[in-house]
């Protein structure tokens, strides 16, 4: 269900951005305001574009959200303050036990409120789950703090 909601959010976001771009081009006179003139096949082309957006949106959550393991020897409780510090330095605030959300409202909006990163202790370290591009930054910060004495 979460996957479907994410895909729908991305479809709406991509469609809205495209509509804003086309609207700006039409208002500025760069392209015709008549859809049948602006697109080679008129409204049929708009349907094809929507299908293409739906296809991209259907696959984006598959690649955009991931899990990443961090190796940390010893007791996971030892690293709690390091992890919280890493998230704080990257602009995240605690959101319940083992979860963090962006402190920036703009970042939350651009991420469609899918900015949550969860930290789960596992045998030999931690597992982080969230948006891949944000996860890479936070995970590298945590790994650096763990490896630096």
Does the pTM exceed 0.85? no
At 30-69, the pLDDT tens digits run 998 888 888 888 889 989 999 999 999 998 888 888 899 9
pLDDT class for 11, splitting at 50, 70, 90?
very high
pLDDT class for 18, splitting at 50, 70, 90?
very high
- For 6-44, b/e burial (b = at least 16 CB within 10 A) is bbebbbeebeeeeeeebeeeeeeeeeeeebeebbeeeee
At 130-149, the pLDDT tens digits run 888 888 889 888 888 888 76
At 70-105, the pLDDT tens digits run 888 888 778 888 888 989 988 899 988 889 999 999
Residues 6+ apart with CB under 8 A from 9: 112, 114
pLDDT at res. 149: 61
Residue 126 has pLDDT above 70, yes or no: yes
């Amino acid at each position: 269900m979460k996957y479907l909601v994410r895909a729908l959010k991305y479809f709406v976001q991509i469609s809205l951005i495209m509509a804003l771009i086309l609207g700006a081009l039409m208002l500025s006179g760069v392209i015709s305001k008549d859809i049948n003139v602006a697109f080679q096949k008129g409204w049929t082309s708009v349907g094809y574009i929507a299908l293409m957006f739906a296809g991209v949106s259907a696959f984006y959550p598959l690649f955009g959200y991931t899990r990443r393991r961090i190796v940390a020897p010893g007791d996971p409780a030892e690293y709690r303050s390091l992890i919280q510090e890493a998230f704080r330095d990257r602009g995240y605030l605690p959101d319940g036990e083992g979860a963090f959300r962006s402190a920036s409202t703009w970042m939350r909006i651009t991420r469609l409120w899918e900015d949550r990163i969860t930290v789960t202790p596992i045998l030999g370290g931690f597992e982080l789950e969230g948006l891949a591009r944000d996860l890479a930054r936070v995970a590298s910060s945590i790994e650096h703090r763990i490896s630096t004495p």
